[in-house]
Amino acid sequence: MKELREERFFREFCDTADNMYRLGWDERNGGNISMLLTREEEGCFGAPIRTIPIPFDASALAGRCFLVTGTGKYFKNVKKYPEENLGAFRIAKDGKNAELLWGYSDGGKFTSELPAHLMSHIARLSVDSAQRVVIHCHPTHTLAMNYVHELDEKKISHTLWQMSTECIVVFPEGVGVLPWMLCGTNEIGIATAEKMKKFRLVIWGMHGIYGAGDTLDEAFGLIETVEKAAQIYMLTAHLPRINTIKDEELARLAEAFGVNYRKEFLDL
């Protein structure tokens, strides 16, 4: 078996968790990351160690392997003690069990949000077969914005787009929004996956955000861009608006960069 710590994908996974903690997006054991492994990456792991029941039917992903943060694990410890805080597993043929290949060395298991992650993977793969990463976290300004801005997909996407020139280019489809729901359930997983068919970013009202991408960098960068826009909003929302990016200018920007933006989110 290859030395995991020397593998680029593994180092990037640990670095991403470390950055998310450093930025304050994942306090305590808040947040989770899951990554669908390539066949080459799967070769870094050995035979199954034990099985862990999955709380929903994941047979659509049978035979696929994932690297996932553990339940109750602190992101600040991932980089230093990865084998305790991460786990690599294969979805069993019956879709009802995860065959642990590595990690969760203290007897732990995957994040309680695994249903939302795997359902989101299924949804994103149905749209784009290259999408391999799902990140959930609690970015401070995005969360603060939830309390003072209408949780309406068109309105919050429009506001975020206006906060920075890059936004409509980075997430032209906008941001999906869910109301507050009980976390760690199949219900919130189903609702998130439904949104993930149309959006790569989904806000969980008064909780956090989900982001999906081809790579760790892309998923992280999507959330990072939303968080920067939310920070600008929170710094300026109480002040008179003297300047803004007009809808006509947002449309020109999106068209100049050749992105397929959600036109109904602009008032043209």
Question: Are 127 and 250 contained in the same domain?
Answer: yes
Reported as a single tens digit per residue, the pLDDT across 68-81 is 999 999 999 999 99
Q: Are residues 31 and 134 in the same domain?
A: no
Q: Are residues 142 and 83 in the same domain?
A: no
- Both 72 and 149 in a single domain? no
Q: What is the mean pLDDT of residues 184-211?
A: 97
Tens-place pLDDT, residues 210-225: 999 999 999 999 999 9
Residues 194 and 255 in one domain: yes
Of 112, 132, 156, the position where a domain reaches its end is 112
In DSSP terms, 36 is beta-bridged to: 66
Residues forming a β-bridge with 202: 176, 210
Q: What is the CATH number of the domain that holds 74?
A: 3.40.225.10
Cα torsion for 21, 22, 25, 28, to the nearest 10°? 40
Boundary of a domain, candidates 44, 78, 112:
112
Other Cβ atoms closer than 10 A to 24: 13
Nearest to 122 by CA among 44, 186, 69: 186
Q: What is the tally of structural domains in the chain? A: 2
Beta bridge partner(s), residue 65: 90
Q: Which of 112, 142, 163 represents a domain boundary (last residue)?
A: 112
Query: Exposed, middle or buried, 256 (CB in 10 Å: 0-12/13-18/19+)?
Result: exposed
Q: Are residues 217 and 245 in the same domain?
A: yes
Same domain? 216 vs 123 = yes
Strand 32-36 to 133-137 pairing: antiparallel
Q: State the maximum Cα–Cα separation within the chain, in Å, rounded to a whole number.
A: 62
Tens of pLDDT, residues 102-154: 999 999 999 999 999 999 999 999 999 999 999 999 999 999 999 999 999 99
Q: Which residues are catalytic?
A: 113
User: 47 lies in which domain range?
Assistant: 1-112
Beta strands 97-103; 133-137: pairing state: unpaired
In a shared domain, residues 99 and 173: no
Instruction: Please choose, from the candidates 96, 103, 30, the residue with its C-alpha nearest in 3D space to the C-alpha of residue 68.
Output: 103
Identify the residue whose tokens are 């990351």: 33
